[in-house]
C-alpha cells in the first residue's frame, strides 16, 4: 500500500512538473509574443507621431515663411507708396 501511494505520488508529481513546465513555457511564450507586439505598436506609433510632428512642423514653417514673405511684400509696397507720396508732396 505504501509503495502504491509512493508510485502514485511520484507519477502525480511528475505530471504536475511536466504540466507546470509546459504552462511556464507557454506563458513565457505569450509574454514574449505580447512584448514583441506592444514593442511593435510602440515603434509604429512613435514613427507615425514623429511623421505627424515633422509634417506639421514643415507645414507651419511653410506658413510662417509664406506670411513673412507676404508681409515683407506689403511693407515694401507701402514703403514705396509712402515714399512716393513724400516725394510728391516734397516737390
Q: What is the pLDDT of residue 29?
A: 72
On whether residue 51 sits in a domain, the answer given is yes
* Per-residue pLDDT at 4 exceeds 70: no
> What's the domain range around 87?
42-91
**Domains identified in the chain, total number:** 1
On whether residue 18 sits in a domain, the answer given is no
Residues composing the chain: 91
What is Dmax (Cα atoms) for the chain?
A: 131
The per-residue pLDDT for range 14-37, each reduced to its tens digit, is 777 777 777 767 777 777 777 777
CA angle 64, 44, 63 (to 5 degrees): 5
The grid coordinates of residue 85 equal 507720396
On whether residue 83 sits in a domain, the answer given is yes
The per-residue pLDDT for range 31-77, each reduced to its tens digit, is 777 777 777 777 777 777 777 777 777 777 777 777 777 766 676 66
On whether residue 75 sits in a domain, the answer given is yes
The grid coordinates of residue 26 equal 507557454
Helices (H), the chain: 2-90
Amino acid at each position: 500500500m505504501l509503495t502504491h501511494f509512493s508510485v502514485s505520488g511520484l507519477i502525480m508529481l511528475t505530471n504536475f512538473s511536466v504540466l507546470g513546465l509546459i504552462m511556464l513555457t507557454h506563458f513565457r511564450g505569450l509574454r514574449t509574443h505580447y512584448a514583441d507586439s506592444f514593442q511593435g505598436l510602440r515603434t509604429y506609433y512613435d514613427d507615425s507621431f514623429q511623421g505627424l510632428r515633422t509634417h506639421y512642423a514643415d507645414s507651419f514653417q511653410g506658413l510662417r515663411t509664406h506670411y513673412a514673405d507676404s508681409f515683407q511684400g506689403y511693407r515694401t509696397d507701402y514703403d514705396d507708396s509712402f515714399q512716393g507720396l513724400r516725394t510728391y508732396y516734397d516737390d
